[in-house]
Amino acid sequence: MTDMTDPAAPMRVLVVDDDALIRALIAASLDKLGVSDIQHAANGRDALELIRVSEPPVDLVLLDLFMPKMDGIEVVRHLGGGARQPALAFITGVNAALLGTAVHIASVRGLRILGAIEKPISPEALTAIVAMYRKGVQTGRDKVGMVVSTAELREALQAGHLELHYQPKVNLKTNAVEGFESLVRWRHPELGLIPPGIFIPIAEESGLINALTNKMFIAALEQYAHWAAEGLTTKISVNLSARMLVELSLPDRIAGEMEKHNVDPKHIILEVTESGVFQDEADSLDILARLTMKGFPLAIDDFGTGYSSMAQLRRIPFAELKIDRAFVSGAAGNAKTRTILDSSVALGKKLGLTVVAEGVETADEWKLLADVGTDVVQGYFVSRPMPAKDIRDWLKGWNEIRR
């Protein structure tokens, strides 16, 4: 295996973010990856000027999507027409359908777009981006288009290189494990473990998302059946992309899979991201309603980040509301965020939904969520997502601490 993070290959990285702390954190992580030639810009204008004059030229730009004055989309617009076109990866604090759009815009404008990473930036995501950059240079791939191509993703899917990791969901009152969310990762033979934020937008743009979600659904089902056979009865949550809610036969097909694996749908929670754009509203609602009729609980994912949360809550029979981590991590220090968190929890409870908080990282956040009446938490404070084989040991440890 070639070492894709070979520090010998020099590269100049420009980090563009209005938050100085985030720039510093990224610079520190990059340094660990052997990238020491790092430039900073606090806004889009400075970034464009730096790219124009930098000697040696900037190789890779890590670009915040939301910035005052000039946002990331505008920077992309100028870069697209410019003489210098470094490779690009987006950084974003919002987990939104917007990311897919931004990636698409950059690609249409002819830029080499490596993907998108969510804040807080994990070292794994950054490693993947740097490795992808270096791989592109090595293979001399076309500047236009993504380094991780649709074809490569399709091959990975067929070769079984996509795998599920599982993150526990824990009851705030009893500390009991309520279930696990399945989260896809790409085990790339050269680039290592690639997080979904980097390839889900590509899958959505290319239409591969259907095949991907189907395959992951079946993998989760098999895992469920495997655990059940071992005496571990739990629930597994599966993410459905809003973009795949176009196939009217989906409910019958997945109900068929449930029968084949002899699993009661009540154990498989289907998470639908509310920021996802429905292609056809009637068809999407048709599918969601029939999934509920077949016995699947539905969860509204990333609540608060979308455009039509209230409308969807009213129309779709959700069983669970998952509050996006943006409203969890910011709540302790920001009165507005705290109010949104409080109100979202109250809203969910009044509607009779199980309220789950995502992205709980600290004991303070845990306590705050308990105070506002959240039912279930999920986050690094409890555990990071882990391979299925690690779950037994983790459960053992968790149940010991609980007592």
**Which positions lie near ligand C2E, rule CB under 6 A?**
120, 167, 183-184, 195-197, 200, 213, 216, 239, 241, 271, 273, 301-302, 325, 358-361, 378-380, 385
**Rounded distance between C-alpha atoms, residue 88 and residue 79, angstroms:** 10
Tokens coding 32: 């660990």
Strands 87-92 and 60-64: parallel
Of the pair 33, 98, the CB lying nearest Mg ion is at: 98
Least distance (Å) from Mg ion to the CB of residue 167?
A: 9
| Residue 46 binding: pick among Mg ion, ligand C2E, none (C-beta 5-8 Å cut-off by kind) | none
**Least distance (Å) from ligand C2E to the CB of residue 52?**
34
Contact positions toward Mg ion, by CB under 5 A?
A: 239, 271, 301-302, 358
Pairing of β 37-41 and β 12-16: parallel
375 binds, among Mg ion, ligand C2E, none (CB under 5 to 8 A by kind): none
Based on CB atoms, which residue is closest to ligand C2E, 73 or 269? Answer: 269
Give the count of beta carbons closer than 10 Å to the beta carbon of residue 232.
Answer: 13
In the complex with ligand C2E, the residue whose CB is nearer, 42 or 212, is 212
CA 194 to chain CA centroid, Å, is 11
The span from the CA of 326 to the CA of 120, in Å, is: 10
**Measured distance CA(293)–CA(303) in Å, rounded:** 23
Using CA atoms, how far apart are residues 183 and 272, in angstroms rounded to an integer? 13
Q: Is the peptide bond before 56 cis (omega within 30 degrees of 0)?
A: yes
Instruction: Pick what 385 binds: ligand C2E, Mg ion, none; C-beta below 5 to 8 Å, kind-dependent.
Output: ligand C2E
Question: Do 97 and 275 touch, CB atoms closer than 8 A?
Answer: yes
Least Å distance, CB 235 to ligand C2E, is 15
Determine contact, residues 31/62, Cβ cutoff 8 Å: no
Least CB distance from residue 262 to ligand C2E, whole Å?
22
Q: CB 200 → ligand C2E: shortest distance, Å?
A: 5
Nearer to ligand C2E, 112 or 325 (CB): 325
163 CB-near residues (< 8 Å, 6+ apart):
184, 185, 187, 219, 387
- Out of ligand C2E, Mg ion, none, what residue 379 binds, judged by CB under 5 to 8 A for its kind, is ligand C2E
354 membership: H or E segment, kind and range: strand 354-357
User: At its nearest, how many Å lie between Mg ion and the CB of residue 181?
Assistant: 6
Q: What angle do CA 186, 189, 193 make, to 5 degrees?
A: 35
- Using the minimum distance from each CB to Mg ion, give the nearer residue, 90 or 327: 327
Considering CB distances under 5 to 8 angstroms, the limit depending on partner class, which of Mg ion, ligand C2E, none binds residue 365? none
For the CB of residue 182, give the shortest distance to Mg ion in the complex, in Å.
9
The CA-CA-CA angle for residues 344, 346, 350, to 5°, reads 120
Pick 273 or 309: Cβ nearer ligand C2E: 273
Rounded Cα–Cα distance for residues 318 and 297 (Å): 7
Partner that binds at residue 374, options ligand C2E, Mg ion, none, CB closer than 5 to 8 Å by kind: none
Which residue number places its CB atom closest to ligand C2E? Answer: 379
State the alpha helices, DSSP H only, in 82-207: 98-108, 123-139, 150-159, 196-206
**Closer of 356 and 368 to Mg ion (Cβ):** 356
Nearer to ligand C2E, 59 or 301 (CB): 301
Cβ 350 to ligand C2E shortest distance, Å? 23
